[in-house]
Structure 1
Amino acid sequence: MITLVGGTFNCIHIGHKRLLRTAISFKDDLIIGLTSDDYTRKNKSYKIPYEKRKMELERFISKYTERFIIRPIDSPYGSTLEVNEPARIVVSPETYLNALKINERRAELGLMPINIVRVPFVLAEDLFPVSSTRILNNEITKTGKRKKTIKISISTGNDVKERALKVFLSNHMKNFRVTRNSDYKLEAEQPFGSDTERFAVKRALSGLKDNDYSVGVESGLYYNKINDRYYDVHFCAVIDRYGRITTGYSRGFEIPYKIVDYIKSGVSSPYEKYTGIENIGKKNGIIGEITFNKIRRFDLIYDSIEMAFAPRINPSIYI
């Protein structure tokens, strides 16, 4: 069996190294398709000469094996349609769909399918995939460390929300800065049902601007027909500079019916009226009163933020 792998390899970074080491680990004869100068001239922003890229590839791969050949390729198919013996192709999530197209074309030609091995993304410090383009743009290092500060906005006037976001981010990033956005308007103080998601997304969209990420967190009331009660749930929306939105929910808890009555009657500051605690939403919240502060509003906000970022921690599994 032979193993195939391909790419442009403008600069060998940690993502490339994982891809290549995976290919090498099968201990087969290895064929590496390297995009030609003509191909990169037409399809790539950075046009590093073929021979220079080939030399860097040879330097890295020869540390692990001598059983490899580097061939120039001028199309996404490369030499994959010429392989008649059993083979596997090692790809990233980014090129996985192209591997499927290769097998479709091989089937049309009466060739056996190539076994596809998908290697997960390697993420930079900012939770975006490491790429040669980002390295050459001087945004990250070859190991994925962010050179420029990660800019994150949260649309809120609540210190608890900002603090929960900073605590979460500190577990995943180092070089980041959180700023508040106040340039948003919501139609109601207390959303019900799907308005909760809509308000959170509206917050996030309003704060994106030139930031890497923008976050919106909203708490809303959801009706449960089973017991005729309302539940408080926090919802977080995260939008990034590429336009991708991920969302998450917190744990939910039952709201005392008297508070719901206050809200529906239009009573100002219903949670404060019920508990007698000024600015309770900016402290431990009604959940703090219910649980004697064993659970705080901070915890529920953190829940929603963590769940909204969860798909970004291992994005390969969602492709």
Structure 2
Amino acid sequence: MRVAMGGTFDILHAGHEALLDAAFDLGGEVFIGLTTDAMALQGRQKVSPYELRKQRLEAWLKRRGYKGWTIGPLEDPFGPAVSEPFDAIVVSEDREGVAKALNEERTRLGLPPLAIHVVPMVLAEDDAPIASRRIRAKEIDRKGKLLRPLRVNVGSTNPVKIRATAKVLGTLFTKPRVKGVDVASKVSEQPFEVEAIEGAINRAREALKEADYGVGIEAGLF
């Protein structure tokens, strides 16, 4: 079996490892498309150079003892998998749409579609996906461990709402930093039914600024 996969692999982390392990679990040959610097910088402010990323990836594969792999430049979302005789493609769940689009293009070219194997995102301690940009920003380490307290803003200065949020999140995360911020609910003072839900959402969105999570609590009548 010939398996295709791709990525930037900027700072190799647990999410990358899960993706790579899944590809090798299928057996056979594995082609790893490594995004070129030009492609990697699309939507990113900083990324390690291609050759450095390749060296790190090669070293990890050798330490893992994997055989039958090839690393090549990936200059577009599809790479060689769109036209070459691969059997399967391994993607993270946020890239499943790309794999489906690739299969549509293969069908248009008269080629059989690839079996798509979707790997769930690996989450950090704060339940957000592990990502190289977060590691670079020193939010988390490569395994997803938080390197600073979780920042939670409650869209209210009501001490009851703040304490309640801190109590609940304290059972889920290690010492979250919870504070209240004064924001507008953008609904009437006494909201009814769906308006109360809208008020809570508005508060959460406004509170999210400069925080990891925003919490909105709106009292209303249903």
TM-score, shorter chain, exceeding 0.5: yes
| Structure 1 residues 200 and 47, CA gap change in structure 2 (3 angstroms) | closer
**2:178 paired residue number:** 178
| Matched residue SS, 1:10 | coil
**2:67 paired residue number:** 66
**1:209 paired residue number:** 209
Higher relative contact order (CA 8 A, sep 6+): 2
**2:127 paired residue number:** 127
Letter in 2 for 1:31: F
**2:114 paired residue number:** 114
**1:12 paired residue number:** 12
| Structure 1 residues 66 and 152, CA gap change in structure 2 (3 angstroms) | same
| Structure 1 residues 25 and 221, CA gap change in structure 2 (3 angstroms) | same
**2:50 paired residue number:** 50
Q: Which of 141-150 and 99-108 deviates more?
A: 141-150
CA RMSD after TM alignment: 2.2
Conserved? CA contact 2:83–2:111, under 8 Å: no
Any unmatched runs of 5+ in structure 2?
A: none
Task: Give 1:68 shift.
Answer: 1.0
| Structure 1 residues 109 and 125, CA gap change in structure 2 (3 angstroms) | same
**1:29 paired residue number:** 29
Alpha-carbon separation, structure 2, partners of 1:105 and 1:152: 44
**1:166 paired residue number:** 166
| Structure 1 residues 203 and 59, CA gap change in structure 2 (3 angstroms) | same
| Matched residue SS, 1:217 | coil
Task: Give 1:43 shift.
Answer: 5.9
Letter in 1 for 2:198: R
Alpha-carbon separation, structure 2, partners of 1:84 and 1:70: 16
Task: Give 1:209 shift.
Answer: 3.1
Q: TM-score, normalised by structure 1?
A: 0.63
| Structure 1 residues 221 and 107, CA gap change in structure 2 (3 angstroms) | same
Give aligned pairs, total.
Answer: 220
Task: Give 1:45 shift.
Answer: 2.8
**1:91 paired residue number:** 91
Any unmatched runs of 5+ in structure 1?
A: 223-319
Letter in 2 for 1:217: I
Q: TM-score, normalised by structure 2?
A: 0.88
Percent of matched pairs sharing the same residue:
35
| Structure 1 residues 89 and 164, CA gap change in structure 2 (3 angstroms) | same
**2:194 paired residue number:** 194
> Which of the two has higher C-alpha Rg?
1
Alpha-carbon separation, structure 1, partners of 2:194 and 2:41: 48
Equivalent residues in 2 for 1:213-292 (5 A)?
Answer: 213-222=213-222
Conserved? CA contact 1:146–1:175, under 8 Å: no
CA deviations on 1:184-229 (whole Å, 9 max, x unpaired) are: 365234x32112212212332343332222211124332xxxxxxx
| Matched residue SS, 1:33 | strand
Task: Give 1:95 shift.
Answer: 1.6
Task: Give 1:13 shift.
Answer: 0.3
Equivalent residues in 2 for 1:71-82 (5 A)?
Answer: 71-82=72-83
Flag the structure with higher strand content. Answer: 1
Alpha-carbon separation, structure 1, partners of 2:189 and 2:157: 15
Q: Which of 108-117 and 64-73 deviates more?
A: 64-73
| Matched residue SS, 1:200 | helix
Alpha-carbon separation, structure 2, partners of 1:205 and 1:51: 40
